[in-house]
Amino acid sequence: MILLFSAGLFGIYFLNQSHSRQTTAPSDEKYYFADSKYSGIRSKFVTRDNKREKVSIEYPITENEKINRLISESIDKIDRDFQNTVLLATVFDKPMTETISYQVTHNTSEALSIVVNIKQDMNGAHPASMTQFWTFDKKSGEVVGLADFTEQSDEAAEAIISAAKNSVSQTIKQRQQPEIDLNEIINKEALSNFIITNNGNALAWPLGQASLLPSSYGELTITVPISSVSKYLQNPTARKLANIPKPAEKPKPTPATPTPIVANKTIALTFDDGPGPYTEKLLDILDKYDAKATFFLIGSKVSARANTLRRMQSRGHQLGNHSWSHPELNKVSAEQLASEIDQTNNAIKQAVGTKPNIIRPPYGAFNRAVLEQFRQRGMSAVVWSVDTRDWADRNSEIVCSRAVAGARNGAVILMHDIHPTSVNAVPCILNSLKQQGYSFVTVQNLIGDMTPGAVYP
Ligand code: NI
């Protein structure tokens, strides 16, 4: 999807060499600001690119200074350690790389959940992947720990901890990894920082490698659907920050929380806004790596490239709806909404014989009425968990490093096959992530059964 450019974005102001920090700033450090897709949040990008290091850091700039300070201090500490390693290194076959980016998983007037992904590759050593994550009270700027969220209820904390243990042991079983005593590992302290995900309906802990479990267990996201612990969370803080169903309500079914369905680490690459002139080349690349992907298609472009759609289908890729003319679906009339969906479904059906059961609303924009229309057609909404922002940076290396930095088991990566730079980034993404043990599946295979009208991942 092409995001709306607001004035700030291409008014990127490059300010060279004037960035102040405590350590001596390398002379090639640059920074600039850009809008993010998250409401009320901008990004500050810092880059350093020289023979010794190749660094790209994206800091979130929210409306609350206190939040900004906590996150930037945490990022700077990690970056200083990296810089020290670079300073001490003597041999430079190739630059050491560091990519730090962030994702917002929950953003309401009251609450903000942010994950910072850190990937470092120090020549030859394993690429280190780490995460830092927090939920903030947006008004006060304070971090909300599990004890705050449960308002100090031991019973609530125990319920969440036990659900988290179940989630981990299930994942370990599915991955066929050795059993491990989780009682020592998963406790109040370990789970204190958490994020809210899934439209306020789940708590999650996106753990980097070796952050709780031994390194050999790899990365792991613990997810606890709120519906499974909601009776313990009937307190004002939790209600303010997340969606806590009232006790009388039947707990909502929670299919929206994907559990890994295969033993390996899997990722769904998704390509929006096509089909276009570079889509065939992309299909060649995917074939070569035996990777499956998901294409969210613009209905009006389909009939001119029906053969390309047939090829997608025959190679096991998944086809999805991305509207007819790419409007914000929450802002169009009921008639246009229906026709954006139906015309595109019909065009795809005409090309390949079946209608899609997934739709990605342009700009990720939807509301209840939009979801209701999806539901009535048996369709689920699919958004993304990693945004490569390939429409903003038409640079294959940047696109590749963002995809690789954000990758984790179960991730849905957003790209656009209408940009040649994005298509050219795909071999790099597939190579890097294959080496890390990932395989590439369709959204359907990543998520499994989806409920019509629900939003994934
Ligand atoms: Ni789009």
pLDDT confidence bin for 297, thresholds 50/70/90: very high
| Peptide bond just before 236 cis, omega within 30 deg | no
pLDDT confidence bin for 4, thresholds 50/70/90: very low
Q: What is the pLDDT of residues 196-231, one digit of tens each?
A: 998 898 999 998 877 888 777 778 888 898 988 998
CA distances from 90 to 51, 52, 80, 87, 299 (A): 12, 10, 18, 8, 55
Say how many Å lie between the CA of residue 364 and the centre of ligand 1.
8
Rg over CA atoms, the chain? 22
Q: How far apart are CA 356 and CA 320, in angstroms?
A: 5
- Pairing status of strand 111-121 against strand 220-225: unpaired
Tokens of residue 308, six digits: 């390309």
Is position 287 annotated as part of the catalytic site? Answer: no
Tokens of residue 256, six digits: 């929206």
Residues with CB under 5 A from ligand 1 (ion): 1, 272-273, 362
Catalytic residue among 106, 317, 326, 416: 416
Q: How far apart are CA 372 and CA 395, in angstroms?
A: 38
Tell me the percentage of the chain whose pLDDT exceeds 90: 63
- Pairing status of strand 411-416 against strand 220-225: unpaired
DSSP state of 357: S
CA distances from 230 to 145, 200, 243, 246, 281 (A): 17, 12, 9, 8, 48
Q: Are 294 and 267 in contact (CB under 8 A)?
A: no
Indicate the range of 4-18, 290-304, 380-394 predicted with least confidence: 4-18
pLDDT confidence bin for 445, thresholds 50/70/90: very high
Q: What is the pLDDT of residues 323-364, one digit of tens each?
A: 999 999 999 999 999 999 999 999 999 999 999 999 999 999
State the amino acid at position 397 in one-letter form: E
Residue 265 has pLDDT above 70, yes or no: yes
Say how many Å lie between the CA of residue 168 and the centre of ligand 1.
35
pLDDT confidence bin for 104, thresholds 50/70/90: very high
CB atoms within 10 A of CB 86: 20
- For the chain, the average pLDDT equals 87
What are the start-end ranges of the H helices in 89-190? 146-149, 154-174
Is position 272 annotated as part of the catalytic site? Answer: yes
Say how many Å lie between the CA of residue 161 and the centre of ligand 1.
39
Q: What H or E segment, with its residue span, contains residue 196?
A: strand 195-197
